[in-house]
Structure 1
Amino acid sequence: MTEDVRFEVDGAIAVITLNRPQKLNAVTPEMADAIVAAVEECNDSDTIRCVIVTGAGPKAFCAGSDIKELDTYETPWEFRNRPDYCDAIRRLLKPTIAAVNGYAFGGGLETAMNCDIRIASENAQFAAPEIKLGWIGGGGMAAFLAHSIGPSNAALMIMTGDPISAGQALSWGLISEITAPGRLLDRAREIAKVIASRAPIAAETAKINLRAAYGMPLEKAIEYERDLQTICFATADAAEGRAAFKEKRQPNFRRK
Structure 2
Amino acid sequence: MSILFEIDGAVATITLNRPEKFNAATPAMSRAIVEATQECDRNDDIRCVIITGAGPKAFCAGSDVEALDDYATPWDFRNRVDYCDAIHKLRKPSIAAVNGHALGGGLETALSCDIRIASSNAKFAAPEIKLGWIGGGGMAAFLAHSIGASNAALMLMTGDPIDAQRALGWGLVSEVIEPDALMDRARALAETIAARAPIAAETAKRNLTAAFSMPLEEAMAYERDLQTICFTTQDALEGRAAFKEKRAPVFRRK
TM-score normalised per structure 2: 0.99
Q: Deviations over 1:66-102 (max 9, x none)?
A: 0000000000000010110000001110000000011
Q: How does 1:65-214 map to 2 (within 5 A)?
A: 65-214=63-212
Distance 1:157 1:84 in 2: 22
Distance 2:173 2:66 in 1: 30
Post-superposition offset of 1:247: 1.1
Post-superposition offset of 1:125: 0.2
Distance 1:102 1:168 in 2: 14
Post-superposition offset of 1:139: 0.4
Q: Deviations over 1:152-174 (max 9, x none)?
A: 00000000000000000000000
Is 1:6 the counterpart of 2:4? The answer is yes
Post-superposition offset of 1:62: 0.1
Distance 2:128 2:232 in 1: 46
Distance 2:144 2:221 in 1: 24
Distance 1:215 1:192 in 2: 26
Post-superposition offset of 1:8: 0.1
Distance 2:31 2:213 in 1: 29
Distance 2:242 2:181 in 1: 34
Post-superposition offset of 1:218: 1.3
Post-superposition offset of 1:217: 1.5
Corresponding position of 1:39: 37
Say which of 232, 243, 246 aligns to 1:245: 243
Q: Deviations over 1:31-70 (max 9, x none)?
A: 0000000000000011000000000011000000000000
Distance 2:222 2:110 in 1: 26
Post-superposition offset of 1:227: 0.4
SS in 1 for 2:52: strand
Identity %: 73
Distance 2:216 2:79 in 1: 34
Distance 2:211 2:106 in 1: 24
SS in 1 for 2:213: coil
Corresponding position of 2:17: 19
TM-score normalised per structure 1: 0.99
Q: Deviations over 1:190-218 (max 9, x none)?
A: 10010000000000000000011101111
Between the two proteins, the alignment pairs up a number of residues equal to 254
